[in-house]
Amino acid sequence: MGDEVFVLTETRQREIIEAVLPEIDAAHLIFEPSARGTTNAYGLAALTLITDHPDAVMVAMPADHVVRGGPKARSAVRSAVRAAATTNSLVTVGLKPAFPSTGLGYIHAPGRASSGALRVKQFIEKPDLVTAKRFVKAGGYYWNLAWFAWRLPVFIEELARHAPARLAALRRVLAARRAGDEEAASLLYNRLRVDVVDRTIMEETDRLLLVPGDFDWADIGNWAELGDRVHPDAHGNSVDGEAVLIDTHGTLVFGDKRLVAAIGLEDMIIVDTEDALLVCPRSRAQDVKKVVDALRRARKTRYL
């Protein structure tokens, strides 16, 4: 789909990426010093590439998704790239909700598609169940997959409009890196506020289009959504591994090596691995990211 492919990743993932993608040489790898949110990562990549590739289209897709229906998914991404390449718009891929999820964000894009894309009216954060049901019934609302495409100058223009201080800081990071001072670049980068591009740009821009997708998808970064990938039993429990469940309903259990026993639980998540144990209500599955942030602050990244 592209003449050249560049991969953006975190510095500590270098060995993994080089092992998985040996065909990608060093010149086509872009490393962020540390994980500082998608706004910073995408901004750093855009600034790095725009000098030599002023009209390149950048595609951003999270890695922790399960996608089935590959041809339809590829078709949606191609449509998004085509829309990004031929317009001065940012483009996202959305899915018509299969059920009223409260763990996903929504995008309101009513009306009819023009050249395969819809004009986005509003980004909506994760709704409560009543609101999610209303969205499904009303139509014109799509799940936010965080799949994006844009031409590099368009993204930088929107970053300048909505986060000018952030853009200036990223330019300083890049200047230090180009001067060969990776330590200074890392220090500058780590001072940046962590944020997601959805809030920084997508909720603010008036240049956003949506390409509707039609494929099976799940966010496995959200344990509650992952539970839907494991067939539930008669009590609504989804189990992967060895488990004994007594008077337990609607619970998701992922076991690694040990037997997991649960008594009297309702709508819970239990993830037992060799290094750590997670226990939380299914309704708070998204808050697992808070644990990740807490571990990073405590410098206990060996558990991540």
Profile the chain (304 residues) by mean pLDDT over runs of 10 residues: 76 83 85 83 90 90 76 92 93 88 87 84 87 91 93 96 94 92 90 88 93 80 57 83 91 84 91 82 72 69 57
What pLDDT is stored for residue 160 in this prediction?
Answer: 96
**Backbone angles phi and psi of 194, in degrees to 5:** -80, 130
Angle between helices 164-178 and 182-190 (to 10 degrees): 160
In sequence order, which residues have a C-beta less than 8 Å from that of residue 130 and are 6 or more positions away?
none
What pLDDT is stored for residue 296 in this prediction?
Answer: 66
Contact 46, 155 (CB under 8 A): yes
Can you tell me the distance from the alpha carbon of 156 to that of 166, in angstroms, rounded to the nearest whole number?
Answer: 11
pTM of the model: 0.73
Other CB atoms within a 10 A radius of the CB of residue 44 amount to 24
Q: In the structure, how many helices (H) and strands (E) does the chain have?
A: 10, 17
Element (H, E) at 164: helix 164-178
Domains in the chain (CATH in brackets) are: 7-218 (3.90.550.10), 223-303 (no CATH)
What pLDDT is stored for residue 220 in this prediction?
Answer: 57
Give Cα 248 distance to the centre of its chain. Answer: 32
What pLDDT is stored for residue 63 in this prediction?
Answer: 73
What pLDDT is stored for residue 21 in this prediction?
Answer: 84
Cα–Cα–Cα angle for 260, 219, 295, rounded to 5 degrees: 65
| Assigned token pair, 258 | 């040990």
Rounded-to-10 torsion of CA 281, 129, 287, 217: 100
